[in-house]
Structure 1
Amino acid sequence: MPQAAFRLLAECGFFTFLLMTTPKPHYWRADITGLRALAVIPVVLYHAFPDLLPGGFVGVDIFFVISGFLISGILFRQLKLNNKIDYFDFYAKRVRRIFPNLIVLLLAVAVAGWFVLLPSEYSDLGKSIYSSAFFYQNFRLLKTIGDYFAPNVIETPLLHLWSLAIEEQFYIVFPLLCWAVWKLRKGTAGIGFLVFGITTASLVGCLLVRDQTFNFYFPLTRFWELGAGILLAYATEFWNFHSNRLTSAATNSMSIIGFCMIACAYVFFDHATVFPGISTLLPVGGAMLMIAAGSEAVVNRWLTLKPVVFIGLISYSLYLWHWPFISFLNITIDEPTVLQTICAVAASFLVAAATYVWVENPIRRMSAGILGKRVVAGLACALLACVAVGQTLRFTKGLPDRPVAFVQMIGDADKDWSYNEDLMDFNINGIPLKKTRDGKPEILFIGDSHIEQYAPRVARLARTSGIGGVFLTKRGCLTSPAVLGQINLSRTESCRQFGRQLDILLGTKKFRKIVYANMFGRYLHEDSLVSIDGQNTIPLDEGGFDFAINSLFVKINGDPIAEYVYVILDLPWMDDWKNQFHIKNRMFFNKLPSIDGTVNSHWREGNEMVSMIGRAYPKIKIIDPVKDVCPSFACPSYMYQDDNHLRSSYVRDHALWIDHIFQK
């Protein structure tokens, strides 16, 4: 009765034509292999040139349908012939098919990353490697990357392995469910209801969930695409459906309609399409029609041409390799040319063909004997070795000490800041400060983050000279005992308190030397900041800057606060500067573009104003690093941590212009 009910349900819908009968004597079909080519080529084109084929990403959905049809067919045939599923044979074949190429890919990506990735990027790659080896890359991407169509995902070399993870997750669970239902029901109807139920529930879940990023990566909202292929396999194996019982007009129509559905998805879909969703029915339905049409259908015959079949044979290998080539190209070179992208895609074709011929195919065709079992065990161990490689990159934080010139020179710019790490907490008369760990604090460093950036060099000089230094700083506040206020109420009190602390410290503590630095040019043109003179407020860009600087210089120039006072002028910075360490040719990093100090002249105007004011005070000595470090106002971009701060590693080794401050 259940079987009859399921047949009746099928007759009412898409599967009416599946009830024809004729056994299939062999299982490999050249047209399905050709359909793989029809799936993988658009994916490659979309990844290389997104505007050329905006819907090319749906090729992955066609892969899901094909995979569901072929793999479930293996399971169903085992149930029919042996009344059981040979799990070892099933998973051994999957291991021999999936693991060899994947292992080579993961190791190759790890080697490539050694030479061209920053430490944080290399650490992230390590996480992707072990996630891919354990087949849960889709969950990691759902948590970390999010939107598959975001522009920056091109810098994730293993992004594409989310689909492989979903397939393997399904085929870990599905055979167990099939076997359990088969044993309980002792018939095909239970399997049919299982397949239909999983497919329908997954599709409904996909349509109901609003979060498209979740839908894209989550297996339960993707399983219905595999289920579509499984339904075809069920009809083929248990209902003896075969296209030979259909008329040539029917199969040709199915083939043409299916191809047109797929082609429409490729041409008319793009990143704005709600996907997966109701739109996904178009490529999935098209793939089902083409598979059901059989190899003699009009379009399917074109898919059996030898060049097309060859691309289909290497499709798995090509899918694995094409994205890392494109990704590393975009990581290494800023805005690669069309020719460079074509060369990367061509290289991926060559590598895919080579790994198919010399790695994937020989291992896949091994017998299931003793040698085959040893190979399976060896592949499992090799994949675990990939996991170990990934974990090593993760726990070593991307091997920042790699003996690679690019890494040694560039490193992780945005993380190269160690003000707090180089100093210890300290206080004088209750005023919180930062202090070098060596020597009595004879030198006071005051300012904003532009004095904080010198902390690594100060700490080194303190150790070698025995002269200690102490920092009183406040980021975003012009340093002055004139009590700097700010119209923005969220920062007013903190800047005022900082001014009071400075005034108190200079009035109660004597230092041998005072060193002062600020982002002068920023405050000179700041209209939301004010200096406070008694009851009067003076905006910085209307004379308040001069008043604040003069107030500080009058204070520190007098006796006996300090014997020597040094003012370090600012190096060039740019408001619209982007992180140069992510937009460069990493293969030729010695040709990095320089920071052009003429683009934003505010830094120079601030320097000139401070120098002019400072010349009126005999105790003040001006330190100008620009002429030595940045000839013609062009500074090497590898010096910078962001658009206006120097990197700690650069300062530690190269900020020689402050060394004489520590001379006794």
Structure 2
Amino acid sequence: MTGLAAPAASVDGPTRSTSGGGFRADIEGLRAVAIGLVLLYHADVPFLPGGYVGVDMFFVVSGYLITGLLVREVERTGRVSLARFYARRAKRLLPASALVLVVSALLMWATASVVQWRAFGHDIVAAALYVVNWRMADRSVDYLAEGTGASPVQHFWSLAVEEQFYLVWPLVLVLVALVARRYGLRVRPLMGVGLALIVVPSFVWALSTSGSPSGFFVTTTRLWELGVGALVAVAGAVALPRAVARMTGIVGLTLVVGSAVLLDHTTPWPGAWTLLPVLGTAAVIFAGTSHERGAPRVLQLPAVVWIGGLSYSLYLWHWPLLVAAENVAGELSVIERLVVVAVSVVPAWLSLRFVENPVRFSGRLAGSNPVTLGLGAGLTAVGVIAGLLLAAAVPNAPTGSAAAGAAALVSKGGAITPPQAVAQGAVTPSAALATDDVPAPYRDGCEVAMDEVELELCVYGDPQGSKTMVLAGDSKALQWFTPLESIARENGWRLVLATKSACGFAGAVRPGADGAPYTLCGTYNEALLAELLEVRPDAVITSQVHDTAYDATGELTEDAMTEGLTSYWSQLEESGTDVIALLDNPQPHDVPVGGSEVYMCVAEFPDQLDRCAFSSPERATSGGSGAQVAAAAEVEDADVVDMNDLVCNEDVCPAVIGGVLVYRQGSHLTDSYVRSMTPVLEERLLPFVENR
């Protein structure tokens, strides 16, 4: 979990008690605490490493307020007007969010690299449609998305979770109202049962996926937090002595603030620890509901209440401004981030004053649900169009379809000439489209995602081929698919793809994206090894990026990875399956733009490609190659194929060779460049296969 959390501010009119009472200053104060924690967390202040709990506070507050409105409507009329409910949401949410989405698109067009426009544009579309949390969940387990950068609208994920909840919850209440009216039952107990059917499974699911990258974003792990707030609303006011109510409120606020101070990014989230801010927030709300002076007084101070009223606008504006500032100035200090956060108060107040409130309190809209819903649809379309325009702004730069790539390095006599950059002319693919230049199995859905373990074996080449070759490993193995598939078809081989994201094929455990042991990789590899030992293919071709794994003491060492590779390779060789290791290619480093993202540098300096080259490491031991070479030395008959002399010379690794961009995201080679190496790969691979 990184700085992705942002509050899903409750946005449904004046803050009132569930009993139908007046303005709840204490809940506005809770909103202020929640937005304050998130803003300080995003400013990277060191004393609030758990400031992300602000999002959980907002979920509880929102569940309480919206359910309170619905409960009162059911009790008053015996029904729920879905049109009025969604119209109310639309006129409160969409004017400001549409404005922010348009501004975010303009900011990214002006400040972000062109290579990010397409991804960010699609993020804006997903945010406008309130599904961006699922897009973020997919990206969190997408190994190839690591270089995408912080999205200007990733903070919309929590608002998307909230709106997805409110697509379902009012429908449940309609059913509750019908059952209550038909059988003469009390509404609130029935609502409690309905909520329990949502809260309990969601909490169990959150516990089961706690700490997984995608579990942070998905709706199923967050419904219970909204449900807890809803349960407080359904329970209604319970008369408590003032002293008891005040103590309840103080304990609740202490739990919230304490969790922000004591928890950090290593805490599995959402999970058991999430109970602290959730129950703490619920306790503060309950205290204020049960006694008019039960909530902590600090929450009712005028300045705190004012900030709470501005929380939704602050939530919308602060993050895209932070992203734009870092695009312009690079990594910001804590003080600089605090300044940007403080500046975000200005557009937040202006949008509240001149956009949100005029629409929210419009008399015409209040009297016509169809007009309001129509306006909402139009504003949603505005956000979608803004995102599509940003994505479409990526220039369709001319590409050299006849670019030679690695073929430019091969002389007529067959010798390899040292790689040299081409400093002018069209580049294939264009840097702006580099992230799309991937092998076909990504589009075919044939790579197993990081959070999945089921074997996904896809057959390519000649399905009835005389030999069966298996390509196994992580995305660094998959990058060789295109030439291997071509070689397999040419030679009448059956090529079986068995790759899993970020999971090298070895009997060893390495860290996952969250820093914890990547146990799902081990589970997958055990199943794959068993399958291979049973079917006994002619050869397994493998590669990987990681060169270390956990040893018996819990330390990450190359020896542990070497032992893991040796174990699997030995078993395969003993079963009659040959192992061919394709050495990992060098890892980019010290690239002046994007750090390790060569394609971003090429987009920035298309006429100075030498600036985007990086010094060549020891090619035989770069990335995962060191462990591969060591394992091959231990396993008799294991073979090694090294293609890195077509990627780097002894001194430098160029960004472009023979008119073809060499690297896409991270250390992955573009499919175009790998394809250009097909003849050399076939020449080096065939002797090992034909000698079987």
- What is the deviation of 1:28? 3.0
2:389 is the alignment partner of 1:388? no
Q: Distance in 2 between matches of 1:128 and 1:292?
A: 37
Identify the residue that residue 356 of structure 2 maps to in structure 1.
Answer: 360
Q: Distance in 1 between matches of 2:301 and 2:219?
A: 34
Cα pair distance change 1:25/1:145, threshold 3 Å: closer
Contact 1:424 1:434 in 2 (8 A): yes
- What is the deviation of 1:107? 0.1
Cα pair distance change 1:344/1:154, threshold 3 Å: farther
Q: Distance in 1 between matches of 2:173 and 2:107?
A: 42
Contact 2:616 2:653 in 1 (8 A): no
Cα pair distance change 1:193/1:56, threshold 3 Å: same
Identify the residue that residue 419 of structure 2 maps to in structure 1.
Answer: 450
Cα pair distance change 1:108/1:449, threshold 3 Å: farther
Q: Whose helix fraction is larger, Structure 1's or Structure 2's?
A: 1
- What is the deviation of 1:354? 1.3
Cα pair distance change 1:369/1:315, threshold 3 Å: closer
Identify the residue that residue 74 of structure 1 maps to in structure 2.
Answer: 69
Q: Distance in 2 between matches of 1:300 and 1:180?
A: 37
Q: Distance in 1 between matches of 2:84 and 2:312?
A: 21
Indicate the percent of aligned positions where both proteins have the same amino acid: 30
Identify the residue that residue 197 of structure 2 maps to in structure 1.
Answer: 197
2:120 is the alignment partner of 1:140? no
2:296 is the alignment partner of 1:300? yes
Identify the residue that residue 644 of structure 1 maps to in structure 2.
Answer: 654
Contact 1:42 1:56 in 2 (8 A): yes
Cα pair distance change 1:76/1:23, threshold 3 Å: closer
- Amino acid aligned to 1:580: V
- What is the deviation of 1:73? 0.8
Cα pair distance change 1:455/1:273, threshold 3 Å: same
Q: Distance in 2 between matches of 1:290 and 1:131?
A: 34
Cα pair distance change 1:323/1:434, threshold 3 Å: same
Q: Distance in 2 between matches of 1:384 and 1:597?
A: 39
Cα pair distance change 1:379/1:234, threshold 3 Å: same
- Amino acid aligned to 2:340: A
SS at match of 2:79: coil
Contact 1:147 1:213 in 2 (8 A): no
Cα pair distance change 1:23/1:457, threshold 3 Å: closer
Identify the residue that residue 226 of structure 1 maps to in structure 2.
Answer: 226
- What is the deviation of 1:374? 3.2
Contact 2:199 2:224 in 1 (8 A): yes
Deviations 1:397-442 (A, max 9, x none): x4227xxxxxxxxx9xxxx9x66x23489xxxxxx9679xxxxxx9
Deviations 1:277-317 (A, max 9, x none): 11000000100110011174465322111110110001011
Cα pair distance change 1:434/1:47, threshold 3 Å: same
Pairs within 5 Å for 1:571-650: 576-581=589-594, 644-646=654-656
**TM-score using structure 2 length:** 0.57
Q: Distance in 2 between matches of 1:86 and 1:191?
A: 17
- What is the deviation of 1:593? 12
SS at match of 2:296: helix
Cα pair distance change 1:31/1:210, threshold 3 Å: closer
Pairs within 5 Å for 1:171-186: 171-186=166-181
RMSD of Structure 2 on Structure 1 (CA): 4.2
Deviations 1:482-528 (A, max 9, x none): xxxxxxxx99xx9xxxxxxxxxxxxxxxxxxxxxxxxxxxxxxxxxx
Pairs within 5 Å for 1:446-485: 450-451=419-420, 453=422, 456=425
Number of residues of Structure 1 aligned to a counterpart in Structure 2: 443
- Amino acid aligned to 2:191: I
**TM-score using structure 1 length:** 0.59
Cα pair distance change 1:574/1:204, threshold 3 Å: closer
2:336 is the alignment partner of 1:340? yes
SS at match of 1:24: coil
Q: Distance in 2 between matches of 1:384 and 1:596?
A: 42
Q: Distance in 2 between matches of 1:366 and 1:102?
A: 18
Cα pair distance change 1:373/1:272, threshold 3 Å: same
Identify the residue that residue 319 of structure 1 maps to in structure 2.
Answer: 315
2:224 is the alignment partner of 1:215? no
Identify the residue that residue 460 of structure 2 maps to in structure 1.
Answer: none
SS at match of 2:213: helix
- Amino acid aligned to 1:196: A
- What is the deviation of 1:250? 0.4
Identify the residue that residue 32 of structure 2 maps to in structure 1.
Answer: 37
Cα pair distance change 1:28/1:191, threshold 3 Å: same
Contact 1:259 1:299 in 2 (8 A): no
Pairs within 5 Å for 1:177-576: 177-186=172-181, 187=185, 188=187, 189-210=189-210, 212-236=212-236, 241-242=237-238, 245-294=239-288, 296-297=292-293, 300-367=296-363, 368-369=365-366, 373-394=370-391, 396=392, 398-400=393-395, 421-423=401-403, 450-451=419-420, 453=422, 456=425, 576=589
Cα pair distance change 1:445/1:458, threshold 3 Å: farther
- What is the deviation of 1:203? 1.1
Cα pair distance change 1:256/1:155, threshold 3 Å: same
Contact 1:145 1:153 in 2 (8 A): no
Identify the residue that residue 118 of structure 2 maps to in structure 1.
Answer: 123
Larger Rg: 1
- What is the deviation of 1:388? 2.5
Cα pair distance change 1:601/1:381, threshold 3 Å: closer
- Amino acid aligned to 2:252: G
SS at match of 1:399: coil
Q: Distance in 1 between matches of 2:383 and 2:418?
A: 42
Cα pair distance change 1:379/1:67, threshold 3 Å: same
Match of 2:104 among 106, 109, 126: 109
Q: Distance in 2 between matches of 1:69 and 1:377?
A: 28
- What is the deviation of 1:34? 0.9
Contact 1:260 1:286 in 2 (8 A): yes
- Amino acid aligned to 1:314: L
